[in-house]
Chains A and B, each alone.
Chain A
Amino acid sequence: MFHALANPARFLRLMAAIRPWAAGVAVLGLLSGLGWGLLYSPPDYQQGETVRIMYIHVPSAWMAMFIYAVMAGASGVTLIWRHPVAELAAKASAPVGAAFTIICLVTGSLWGKPMWGTWWVWDARLTSMLILFFLYLGYIALWEAFDDPARAGRAAAILALVGAINLPIIKFSVDWWNTLHQPASVLTLEGPKIHPDILWPLILTALGAKGYYVWLLTLRVRAEILSRQARILRFAAATDRRAG
């Protein structure tokens, strides 16, 4: 199964089969979650209506970290088995992850202005999110820095792995440095600490965001495979013309 997927044609067929399902999950999850969260869920007793920003903020933060994990995993697969499609999946994920990170940062600062009284504080979570954004940008920049996609792919894979090892250390060091953000309240040992009327729309939105990512991934990987094929065809055509 794993090695079978290294065949781009077979991979494209699988992607085409997944795509409508992912799109369905994305549309249903985002519409129902955001609709419920933004229109029908109760306002928070302290934060009032601003709590609704959270339905976008929290799923984006989850996605930002989840996508980096996917990228690091795919990079490991690239380096160990030289799996060509894993490399493309990692490349296709990076801009999506960077976008979720910037959404998380922007919504966080929109929420911070009324709640904390300031657009930005150098709090541990905000800072580590910002660093995650820089890691995404570095990864994308390294891909762009080489003409040869094979070289770029493996160099970027090494970078993603180094970043993945370092990310927990950065997170922990920044946590120690300064903390103002509230601690985790959904995944705790005693179960969720938030009311179901808020939790459910949050879960639906998170599912929708995940579906949206998979949907985008299938599209972006397909575009990447096709553009590589086009590149090979262009080279072949150029060689033919010179030979003929």
Chain B
Amino acid sequence: MSAFLAIVGRDLRLGFGAQGALLTTLLFFVLAVSLFPLGVGPEPQILARISAGVIWVAALLAALLSLDRLFQGDQEDGTLDLLAQAPLPLGLAALAKVLAHWLTTGLPLSLMAPLLALLLQMDSEAIPVLLLALLLGTPSLSLIGAIGAALTLGAKRGAVLVPLLTLPLLIPVLIFGVGAVEAAAYGLSASPHLLLLGAFFAGSLALSPFAIAGAIKLALE
């Protein structure tokens, strides 16, 4: 457990430091969302109609933005070799890194989202649901994205490959995440969508550490 926390702490210090991607990710998220009113026009009805989808898609892209560096730096300076030899199972070490990634991308994105939702005229009933859906959904983005990041370690054009490999796999998160917010905006119950988001998270939490660990072992051979 202490090893797990040590990895999380180390990645957090790196993430929040000057080299970290935290600020750039947030900036990208805000910029991407604020391009939409400029692109589709400032009519409040249109913005309210598309707000859930715009925020979710922007969050998805922003979370993927920093993913290709998730394991790459550690591979280049040899940290990954040490992690692979540590008594902590590699899957758990990978999970620690994913948790740190989520704390520096998914969590800040989720917390920023209600503000952007206000700017996009989202229905005030739907904003708490948006926050909840993002908090439930973004961990899956980090988990599935980490599989892509680990698979492309040392690949040519890895940075372009990660979105290509992971975006199709993340479509259920997008559908249920937007579905929850829209259900709330129409006055329906958002809980089926939220439960499915939770189920997807639970499933990917259970299965993806094996895939990530397998992919990292390949890269270290």
Contact residues of A with B, CB < 8 Å? Answer: 79, 131, 134-135, 137-138, 141-142, 145-147, 151, 154-155, 158-159, 161-163, 165-166, 169-170, 173-174, 176-177
- B residues within 8 A CB of A163? 168-169
Contact of B152 among A79, A145, A170 (CB under 8 A): A145
Query: Are B165 and A138 in contact, with the CB atoms below 8 A?
Result: yes
Inter-subunit contact A158/B169 (CB<8 Å): no
Whole-angstrom distance between the alpha carbons of A237 and B154 in the complex? 28
Do B172 and A173 touch across chains, with their CB atoms under 8 A apart? yes
B77 within 8 A of A: no
Q: Which 10 A-B pairs have the closest CB atoms?
A: A145-B155, A173-B172, A134-B168, A138-B165, A173-B175, A155-B151, A166-B169, A131-B168, A177-B175, A138-B164
Q: Does B164 lie within 8 Å of A141, measured CB to CB?
A: yes
Do B171 and A142 have beta carbons less than 8 Å apart? no
A165 — which chain B residues lie within 8 A by C-beta?
207
Query: What is the bound-complex CA distance between A135 and B218, given in angstroms?
Result: 21
Interface residues of B in 141-167 (CB under 8 A from A): 144, 147, 151-152, 154-158, 161, 164-165, 167
Residues of B within 8 A of A161 (CB): 211
> Which residues of chain B in 173-221 are interfacial with respect to chain A, using CB atoms and an 8 Å cutoff?
175-176, 179, 196, 200, 203, 207-208, 211, 214-215, 218-219, 221
Cα distance A135–B167 in the bound complex, in angstroms: 9
B161 touches A142 (CB 8 A): yes
By beta carbon, the residue of chain A nearest B168 is A134
Instruction: Write out the residue numbers on chain B whose beta carbons fall within 8 Å of the beta carbon of A138.
Output: 161, 164-165, 168
Known: A138-B165, A141-B164, A142-B165. A162 touches B175 (CB 8 A): no
- Which residue of A79, A141, A159, A174 contacts B171 across the interface (Cβ within 8 Å)? A174
B215 proximity list for chain A (CB < 8 A): 155, 158
Are B164 and A173 within 8 A (Cβ)? no
- Taking a contact as CB atoms under 8 Å apart, the answer to whether A158 and B151 are in contact is yes
Q: Which residue of B lies closest to A127 (CB)?
A: B171
The residue from A146, A162, A176 contacting B211, defined by CB atoms under 8 A apart:
A162
The proximity string for B residues 59-80 relative to A, scoring 1 for CB distances below 8 Å and 0 otherwise, is: 0000000000000000000000
A142–B218 contact, CB under 8 A? no
Tell me the smallest distance from the CB of B114 to a CB of chain A, in Å: 25
Say yes or no: A155 contacts B218, CB within 8 Å: yes
Given known contacts A151-B218, A154-B218, A165-B207, A142 and B152 CB-to-CB distance under 8 angstroms: yes
- A170: chain B residues within 8 A (beta carbon): 168-169, 171-172
A147 contacts across to B, CB distance below 8 A: 156
Complex CA distance for A234 and B179, rounded to whole angstroms: 56
- Would B171 and A135 count as touching, CB distance under 8 A? no
Within 8 A of A (CB), among B87-110: none
Residue pair B147, A162 in contact (C-beta under 8 Å): yes
**B169: A residues at CB distance < 8 A:** 135, 162-163, 166, 170
